[in-house]
Amino acid sequence: MDNLAIDQNVITDKPLVDENLAYIKGYLNRSIDVKTTLLNKPEVHSKISELADLIVEAYNRGNKVLIAGNGGSAADSQHIAAEFVSRFFFDRPGLPAIALSTDTSMLTAIGNDYGFDRLFSRQLQAQSRPGDIFIGISTSGNSKNIIEAVKVAAEQEVYSAVFCGEGGVLADMADMAIKVPSTSTPYIQECHICIGHIICAIVEQKIFGQ
């Protein structure tokens, strides 16, 4: 009887596994759908290409890229900066890029002294110079500290680009907006890192060639 009970439990567990598998397939399909929509947005492709070329020009004249975001977008900022500084597809000299979300002492000092909204604008004011490029990442398009950073970028003569989704005010504030055709945070984030990778690949190839 004990063995029979165990067998019944194993049988009962099978639909739970099937539900997981169905969810996995559904998630992947939804993610693919967003990327497929992005694939058919030539106006977005043009902006990605333009931003890559602007970054190449900035590097060629001795400027740098500064990147910022919150939460998962903070991780994306660090990820993209690391691709520039270290390498992407092949070995070459590092390219100057700073993620503004990494220094805990700086973040807590600015947050404590000036407020969370000025987390990135203060760093941008201190570390940027004319001709640099700022990339702000915000899935909502409404992140207050990215909004403040875009304002400071204009004052500093720093070109501002934002990665966002379909909504929010940032698209109308920055010099350029690369908008993912979705309102779902996870799918937007997945496209943001894909776009970041594309830009890194183009920049690396145009500057160093391989």
Q: What's residue 18's pLDDT?
A: 81
Residues with Cβ within 8 Å of 210's Cβ and at least 6 positions away in sequence, in order, are 89, 90, 92, 204
Q: What's residue 159's pLDDT?
A: 98
- Structural domain including 19 reads 1-40
What is the reported pTM? 0.91
Summarize pLDDT for 54-87 with one digit per residue, the tens: 999 999 999 999 999 999 999 999 999 999 999 9
Of all residues in the chain, the percent with pLDDT exceeding 90 is 90
Q: What's residue 4's pLDDT?
A: 45
User: For the chain, what is the domain count?
Assistant: 2
Neighbours of 197 (CB within 10 A): 15
Q: What's residue 17's pLDDT?
A: 73
Note whether 107 and 127 are same-domain residues: yes
Q: What are phi and psi of 77, to 5 degrees?
A: -60, -45
Q: What's residue 3's pLDDT?
A: 47
Q: What's residue 16's pLDDT?
A: 67
For residue 9, name the pLDDT band (cuts at 50, 70, 90): very low
For the CA atoms of 140, 143, 148, 150, the dihedral, rounded to the nearest 10 degrees, stands at -30
Could you give the CA distance from residue 57 to residue 34 in angstroms, rounded to a whole number?
A: 31
Note whether 98 and 111 are same-domain residues: yes
| CATH assignment at residue 187 | 3.40.50.10490
pLDDT at 2 over 50: no
Could you give the CA distance from residue 60 to residue 63 in angstroms, rounded to a whole number?
A: 7
Q: What's residue 1's pLDDT?
A: 42
What beta strand segments (E) does 48-172 contain?
65-69, 97-99, 133-137, 159-164
Note whether 128 and 162 are same-domain residues: yes
Note whether 30 and 54 are same-domain residues: no
Q: What's residue 121's pLDDT?
A: 98
Nearest of 151, 183, 149 to residue 164 by alpha carbon: 183
Q: What's residue 198's pLDDT?
A: 98
Summarize pLDDT for 162-199 with one digit per residue, the tens: 999 999 999 999 999 999 999 999 999 999 999 999 99
Could you give the CA distance from residue 107 to residue 122 in angstroms, rounded to a whole number?
A: 10
Note whether 26 and 89 are same-domain residues: no
SS3 at position 122: helix
Note whether 35 and 82 are same-domain residues: no
Question: Token digits for 182?
Answer: 């979705």
Note whether 21 and 76 are same-domain residues: no
Note whether 29 and 48 are same-domain residues: no
Q: What is the average pLDDT score of the chain?
A: 94
DSSP notation for 29-77 = HHHHHHHHHHHT-HHHHHHHHHHHHHHHHHHHTT--EEEEESTHHHHHH
Could you give the CA distance from residue 22 to residue 35 in angstroms, rounded to a whole number?
A: 20
Neighbours of 94 (CB within 10 A): 9
